[in-house]
Structure 1
Amino acid sequence: MTIAELNQARDWLRSVISGSRKIFDEASASDVAIHAKGRQDFVTTIDHCLQDYVVGRLSERFPAHQVLAEEGAKLQALAEVAWIIDPLDGTMNFVNSIPLYGISIAMLVDGVVEMATVCDFVHGDIFDAVRNGGARLNGRAISCEPDRRPSDFIAVSTGFLDRLISRSPQSFETLRQSGKIRVLGSQALQLCYVASGRLRANLSVEAKLWDDVAGALVASESGMRYSSPVFDIGKPINIIDPDKHLFSVSAEPELLEQLEDLMSLLY
Structure 2
Amino acid sequence: MDITDQVALVTGANRGIGRRFVDELLARGARKVYATARRVDSPEALELAALDRVEVLAVDITDHASVVAAAGVATDVTLLVNNAGIATSTPLVTGDLAELRREMDTHYWGTLDVIREFAPALAANGGGAIVNVLSALSWFAYPGNGGYGAAKAAEWNMTNGVRQDLAAQGTLVQGVHLGAADTDIMAGYDGPMIDPADVPRASFDGLAAGAIEVVVDDWSAMVKASLAHDPALLYAQISPAS
Report the structure, 1 or 2, having the larger strand content. Answer: 1
With normalisation by structure 1, the TM-score equals 0.29
Q: TM-score, normalised to structure 2's length?
A: 0.31
